[in-house]
Structure 1
């Protein structure tokens, strides 16, 4: 029995290595490195892999980042992290809070920050100039809650959508410290529901979507408690939705 118990413990440990779980918001910092978009302006990029478009360049005031492993095939899109560089000569204790909007890595980094965000890790403007000259620096980071005061969750109908046969959308202003791991669309009249696929990045999509006004359900996972919770926004997507439209969910998540 002792040998069997040891084998089961070893097997469980190996499965954690092969199938890593999402890192929840925590007070523990993780050591890594960060670079910045050298060809960007101060804000982020409107062509990020999360498919946020121009919203992805300006969300959080332009304090955004690409992520490598933390991108997690799009699950990490919209997650917030506190990132601070570790050189006490140049770096502040506060660092910067960034939102993941893209996928990428450079020189063994977990993050590629916007120039604006990278500079905000510094103590002063002169220190920021020095940090930018380094190009990549040692950092420590932790998952934190996203907060957008006065903003509800929004649904942006993706430009690839074709009414009524194909519906794709992106979730904006994802608050809190949990990941959206599943999305369900339901017909409001007869409650026929359909589970959507994560097409790519932060894009959720389905062919032959339900008809009529559509109610939404999102499955949130992670956070400090590690629980999974279904959230149903109070506002519906109208029956005559169109590509490019933006709809207010009427709902804010607890942060």
Structure 2
């Protein structure tokens, strides 16, 4: 049973140490220091079909969530959980409970927040308006929902907890805009998965604070064409910082995604 929603969101990261990112990436990583939250009761529905094609894009701005590392184990969050996009990229373990539709053999599945499930004020919160505040609700991609319950259930009670995100490869920066206005989507963030603040440094500039645009995107109104670019990213959850040096070369272009290898120190 799909609820009505379109994508608007943002990703964010978390780690105990400052990380330095250099060059290309390999392997899986999850910054240490972030502990799972307690289990909490909520509800879950699903949207789309088995192909999860309708989950592409999304409010966080991750584009093709499969090629960008998130797969089809994703969910749209009710606005109570979405936090105006600052929950983009966060990870949750979800298990079906107290329903005959639950699959007993699969205790839980792990999903990444990539979308927003907006309120549907024309429906009662307990009858169609599943994502109306103050409800905590997960509108899951159908392949993810089918790991915990039979799809015919439509909606099931679940227990969920926030967990660290384990990512393959490095942090990814997708460029839009132009040489005077740089819009960057931050993806594939390990640990807490979320971003609260971002800065960019050209090879000829100091660190420049970037403002939050929407979802997982940040923007800088500065002349950065022809300069190699480094980034500094701060976690929404932990307030700690990750450094990404020389992410993009001086001849960088919009429409491209640059990946950085994560090394912890």
Is TM more than 0.5 here? yes
Question: What residue number does 1:114 align with?
Answer: 141
Deviation at 1:101, TM superposition (A): 0.6
Task: Write the deviation string for residues 170-203 of structure 1: whole angstroms up to 9, x where unpaired.
Answer: 11211012531100011234x5121111100111
Where does the alignment leave 5 or more consecutive residues of structure 1 unmatched? 1-23, 123-130
Q: Which moved more, 1:243-252 or 1:24-33?
A: 24-33
Give runs of ≥4 in structure 1 deviating > 4 Å: none
Helix, strand or coil: the match of 2:173?
A: strand
Structure possessing the higher relative contact order (Cα contacts under 8 Å, 6 or more residues apart) = 2
In 2, the alpha carbon distance for the partners of 1:192 and 1:168 equals 18
> Which of 84, 94, 101 is 1:83 aligned to?
94
Question: What residue number does 2:52 align with?
Answer: 43
Deviation at 1:139, TM superposition (A): 0.6
Deviation at 1:58, TM superposition (A): 6.7
> Which of 76, 82, 91 is 1:71 aligned to?
82
Question: What residue number does 1:229 align with?
Answer: 240
Q: 1:34 to 1:197 in 2, by over 3 A?
A: same
> Which of 182, 186, 206 is 2:220 aligned to?
206
> Which of 203, 208, 231 is 1:216 aligned to?
231
Deviation at 1:234, TM superposition (A): 3.6
Give the length in aligned residue pairs. Answer: 213
Tell me if 1:183 matches 2:195: no
Where does the alignment leave 5 or more consecutive residues of structure 2 unmatched? 1-33, 119-128
Tell me if 1:99 matches 2:122: no
Task: Write the deviation string for residues 33-62 of structure 1: whole angstroms up to 9, x where unpaired.
Answer: 01000x334336123111111136874331
In 2, the alpha carbon distance for the partners of 1:152 and 1:178 equals 12
Structure with the greater alpha carbon radius of gyration: 1
Question: What residue number does 1:251 align with?
Answer: 262
In 1, the alpha carbon distance for the partners of 2:197 and 2:37 equals 27
In 1, the alpha carbon distance for the partners of 2:217 and 2:264 equals 19
Tell me if 1:135 matches 2:154: yes
Q: 1:180 to 1:34 in 2, by over 3 A?
A: same
* 2:228 and 2:246 in contact (8 A); partners too: no
> Which of 208, 222, 225 is 1:194 aligned to?
208
Helix, strand or coil: the match of 2:59?
A: coil
Question: What residue number does 1:9 align with?
Answer: none
* 1:186 and 1:194 in contact (8 A); partners too: yes
In 1, the alpha carbon distance for the partners of 2:192 and 2:264 equals 10
Helix, strand or coil: the match of 2:235?
A: strand
Q: 1:178 to 1:115 in 2, by over 3 A?
A: closer
